[in-house]
Amino acid sequence: MKRLWVILCVWCLAGASALLSAEDQSAALIVRPQGEGEFEFDPRTGVATADRGVMVSYGPATLMARKVTVNQETGEVLAEGDVRIQRETQVWTGQSIIYNLKTQEMRTGAFRAGFTPFFVEASGFEASLTNQTFTVTNGVVTTDDYANPAYRIKARQITMRPGKEIEVRGATLYIGNVPVFYWPKAVETLEYHKSYWVFTPGYRSLFGPYLRSSYHYHFNTNLDAAVHLDYRVKRGFAGGPEINWNEEVAGVGGLRYYYAHDLEPGVNPNTGQPIPEDRKYFTFSHLVTLRTNLTVRAAVDYESDRYVARDFFESDYRGNVQPNTFVQADQDWRNWNLSLTLQPRVNDFQETIERLPDIKFTGLRQEIGRSPFYYESESSFGYYRHRFPESEPEYDLYYPLAYEAMRADTYHQVVAPVNLFGWLNIAPRVGQRFTYYGEAEGPGAATEEEGRAVFNTGAEVSFKASRLWRQARSSLLEVNGLRHIIEPSVNYAYVPRPSPEPSRLPQFDTDLPSYWLLPLDYPDYNNIDSVDSQNTMRFGLRNRLQTKREDGLDDLLRWYVVTDWRLRPDEGQKTFSQLCSFLEIKPRSWFSVSSVLRYDLGYDELREVSYLATLHPARPWNVSIGQRYRQSGEFGADDVGNNLVLASIAYRLNENWAARANYQFEARDGRMEEQSYVIYRDLRSWTAALLLRIRDNRVSEDDIAVAVTFSLKAFPRFKSGEDTDRPMRLLGL
């Protein structure tokens, strides 16, 4: 009887594994009787029967049924009573399934099946398992995983190719019990969402009522396109095409063009001059790997005026106010890199350093033979143009100052890192740079042909020490043992005053105002044209306090402090620079506080302090609150500084409703600069969000925006967390 049980289960499994694509012939066979079964075998007919529950597993496939009958002669396997077949994301349920081992054909009675994200129900179907094709007559398909779906498609015939596509013929779309649309024939791929519309209705005081719409079409898994058509009552129609590609050989990239004949473009807030009505926005990006060590990337960003992205693509504008246009090729070897960059200017209103071209050859730090010395280098050659904004009155004063010149630069350094006593790390270094500048040309040219040599030396000293307290325990702080790690460091850099000084050289790669300390040593410090004398010691201290928690090793505290001691300050410098502190404390796994502080030791002034406290329980709520204070006048008389208070709270009321609020308050003048409120609604197969945003523009009327967005769960419109990180997406901006 046991032998019969095994034979029967093997035959049943053959049907299940063929149904669900038995791709692993070496998988283990697992048989689990589900009750006190009885077995019968008729040697004359070759029919074997088992009842009262059978479960057979083979690899990723599982078949369960109350009764299984196998006919040896015809090869038919009949599974009856609560039949369930499951393999990965495919699930079939029904009362009976007949499978022929010889012909690999299958037919069933009433059944339900799931092919994520689709669900199918029908009175019966036939299938050819050789090519994994299933044909259903008079069936229903939906993505709503409920007994009574909110919407469904009833079709005369449904053809399914699991993991590939679903085809429907004579299909009608029902919302509830109301028919709303009819297709003679339609095909939907399971590999990607082939075609769909996206609509975002809303209101914004700058636009009036608006509707952003786009039609998306996927040609295949590697190529998709979209056509955008938007209407804003105050601003008129706008739109354009978009194409994205991702080919293994040709590369990955995208192209977008957007045109608006703006009925109310407004005026430039700096000049009061009108903004042109014809507004264009064009972006292009592409990355291709020609060989494993050779890549080429390109980007183009054309804007007809400096505010077109701000007005129509706020998410892009906030991410990068002044994107570059360039072509760059990188060739990598084990210890070397060669890069070629072309960077022209395409937007006349931007200040740009054109690189036509910029060729750079980099030697990564590498051992010199079998010696204790390591070598690194960086050499570049290029022709550069410093171009100022044109065609705008506020920049007429600066436009004549444009200039251009050739520059060749080479830098070489030797480092001799050594470890003493098993704990002390010392890395002395010595380097030499030589730079040649051609005579500058252009209306703003003021420099002659120059050559400059720069010597540098220095050393970095550091060590790491730690101590472990295994018995430390605290339920309040979730402490299960403690480890303290401390890493002090001192980096000394010495550069004698170069000749000529930076003021006699054209400035292309130059120091710009920065909140934080710039790199101290070469080649990390790469502002070639601003290289000046240096006699400085940089002190740093890192602290980490670690413990074990449920998710593994966690940091209770991370703290890094750094400051510079200028042994010979340059003109306008103090002996001590600003002190920068970066601190993060995590007293509980769900509560963290981080802070950043900049204190100017030379002027005895607090430049900046900011903090952010976050409470993030899994459910039903999370809260964050923070503040950023930055001193005014740090970068000139027009720098008004900040004293921002930021707050965010999210709360999940129940399984269907959630809400989130964000605030940005400027305490310097008592203004609520921006506030937004979002209400989320789970609509079973859909999710909906209603967003209200109010922004104080200071120089004009408040900007008020309201929008409603819908997203199908089977094909989410936003990536996970995108609506939180970039809430403008909910507005279609």
**How many Å apart are CA 198 and CA 685, to the nearest integer?**
16
Q: Which amino acid is at 732?
A: G
Specify if 364 maps to a domain: no
Instruction: Please report, for residues 1, 401, 433, the alpha-carbon distance to residue 407 in angstroms, rounded to integers and kept in the order given.
Output: 90, 19, 13
Asked if residue 79 and residue 45 are part of one domain, the reply reads yes
> Which residues, at least 6 apart from 517, have a Cβ–Cβ distance to it below 8 Å?
538, 562, 563, 564, 577, 578, 580
CATH of the domain at 164: 2.60.450.10
* Residue 31, amino acid: V
Contact 130, 102 (CB under 8 A): no
List per-block mean pLDDT (blocks of 10 residues) for the chain, which spans 733 residues: 39 39 45 60 71 65 73 72 68 70 65 69 66 75 74 81 77 83 78 78 91 89 92 94 92 95 84 86 96 95 92 87 93 96 92 94 94 96 91 51 93 96 95 96 90 96 95 90 96 94 92 87 91 94 93 91 93 89 93 94 91 83 92 80 92 88 92 91 82 85 87 68 66 70
Residue 270 lies in a domain: no
Global confidence as pTM: 0.76
34 and 75 in a single domain? The answer is yes
Helices and strands of the chain, counted as H and E runs: 4, 44
> Does some domain include residue 187?
yes
pLDDT, position 12: 39
- Per-residue model confidence (pLDDT) at position 106: 67
Contacts of 250 (CB under 8 A, 6+ apart): 288
Residue 6 in domain:
yes
DSSP string, 262-283: -S---B-TTT-PBPPSEEEEEE
**Which of 145, 165, 191 is the C-terminal boundary of a domain?**
191
Residue 119 and residue 141 in contact, taking contact as beta carbons nearer than 8 Å: yes
Predicted local distance difference test score (pLDDT) of residue 91: 66
Q: Are residues 16 and 83 in the same domain?
A: yes
- What whole-number distance in Å separates Cα of residue 241 and Cα of residue 281? 11
Could you tell me if residue 61 is inside a domain?
yes
Number of domains the chain contains: 3
Q: Which two tokens stand for residue 253?
A: 């990239």
Q: Sign of the CA dihedral 314, 315, 319, 324?
A: negative
Closest CA to 597 of 504, 516, 502, 699: 516
Report the DSSP beta bridge partners of residue 496. Answer: none
Confidence at residue 17, expressed as pLDDT on a 0 to 100 scale: 39
Q: Do 218 and 226 touch, CB atoms closer than 8 A? A: no
Is residue 479 in some structural domain?
no
User: Same structural domain for residues 21 and 54?
Assistant: yes
**Residue 396: per-residue pLDDT:** 46
Q: What is the pLDDT of residue 29?
A: 42
Q: Which residues, other chains included, contact 214 with Cβ-Cβ below 8 Å and sequence gap of 6+?
A: 197, 198, 226, 227, 228, 229, 242
Nearest Cα neighbor of 434 from 456, 412, 450, 453 is 453
CA 313 vs CA 170, 236, 256, 308, 317: distances in Å: 41, 16, 12, 8, 6
| Residues 121, 67 share a domain | no
390: Cβ contacts below 8 Å, ≥ 6 apart: 348, 349, 399
The pairing of strands 67-71 and 47-50 is: antiparallel
Whether residues 76 and 119 fall in one domain? no
Question: Is the domain of 653 the same as that of 733?
Answer: yes
Residue-range definition of the domain harbouring residue 32: 1-87
Asked if the structure places residue 669 within a domain, the reply is yes
Last residue of a domain, one of 142, 173, 191: 191
Q: What pLDDT score was predicted for residue 567?
A: 93
Q: Is there a domain that residue 268 lies in?
A: no
Residue 503: partners with Cβ closer than 8 Å, 6 or more residues away: none
Q: What is the DSSP string of 362-422?
A: EEEEEE-TTSS-EEEEEEEEEEEEEE---SSGGGTTTGGG-EEEEEEEEEEEEE--EEETT
Identify the pLDDT of residue 101: 56
Which H or E run includes 14?
helix 2-19
Q: Cα separation of 602 and 204, whole Å?
A: 48
Q: Indicate the residue among 191, 218, 237 that finishes a domain.
A: 191
